Amino acid sequence: MTHRPFIVGNWKMNGTRAMLAEARAIDRAAERFPDVQVALAPPFTLINTLREAVSAMNVGGQDCHAEVKGAHTGDVSAAMLADIGADFVILGHSERRRDHGETDAAVRAKADAALAAGLAIIVCVGETLEERDAGKAEAVVSGQVSESLPVGDEALAAAAAGKIAVAYEPVWAIGTGRVAAVEDVIAMHAAVRARLNAAYGEAADKVRILYGGSVNAGNAADLLSAADVGGALVGGASLTAEAFLPIIAAAGTGEV
Ligand code: PGA
């Protein structure tokens, strides 16, 4: 089960056109590391601009609506993302689950819509600190995987085509500087893998499991070399090329 590592920057609600220079510099790094799949998810307002400014990396959204179009003020559909050249969309990030009350069922509906629009998806899962302290982390995350990921023939085909990724992001590790212990990441990725195998059978081999939560230049190499860590979803450390480049380099083989 070897995959090209997938290093994804999630700019969250950060970024104006002034940050295009950072995106271009990150794109040049992506060119230098062809053995790493590099991607950025800027705010909706910058997706099209980034798409035109970069060539070696993927560009995606941070959310989409489950409907194709209609009376949903302020929302953006997966079809619209595809129309402006997005390659993928992040779904079910814990900040969306928290700020917008997104349920597993809502995330699954968005995932179905994204696949129908031809986008790849990164579905986020992760436990809160209370859930971890209560010994429920694995049950919570396994449940999220089973309930949030798309199922059915289209999902199976997308999984087999490498268009589905899961990001394990413990909520308490996001933006806190408190990274999960490597052995805990390995254990959780194994639990996620078991659910993926149950859902997708052989096609699960093509589903990468990313780790997210305070990934930075100092901890990336340890995390990325751990068993079944197929990449990283990076927030704060993706906002500048200076911070993001060492993470891309840590994922590379160094042979280029
Ligand atoms: P962080 O965010 O790297 O700033 O912790 C990760 C994420 O939320 O995807």
- 77-109 tens-digit pLDDT: 999 999 999 999 999 999 999 999 999 999 999
- The protein residue whose alpha carbon is closest to atom 1 in ligand 1 is 235
Q: What is the pLDDT of residues 95-146, one digit of tens each?
A: 999 999 999 999 999 999 999 999 999 999 999 999 999 999 999 999 999 9
The pTM of the full predicted model, rounded to 2 decimals, is 0.97
- The residue among 247, 227, 236 whose CA lies nearest residue 187 is 227
Q: What is the DSSP string of 181-215?
A: PHHHHHHHHHHHHHHHHHHHGGGGGG-EEEEESS-
Q: Ligand 1 center to residue 22 CA distance, Å?
A: 18
- List pocket residues of ligand 1, CB cut-off 6 Å: 10, 169, 174-175, 212-215, 233-237
Tell me, what's the pLDDT at 1? 52
Among 36, 35, 50, 45, smallest CA distance to 8 is for: 36
Whether pLDDT at 256 is above 80: no
Query: Which tokens in the block code for residue 219?
Result: 């901890």
Tell me which amino acid residue 59 is: V
Calculate how far, in angstroms, residue 214's C-alpha sits from the geometric centre of ligand 1. Answer: 6
| Residue pLDDT, tens place only, 223-251 | 999 999 999 999 999 999 999 999 999 99
Residues that are catalytic:
93, 169
E strands, the chain, in order: 6-10, 37-41, 58-61, 88-91, 120-125, 164-168, 208-212, 231-234
Query: Which atom belonging to ligand 1 lies closest to the Cα atom of 167?
Result: 9
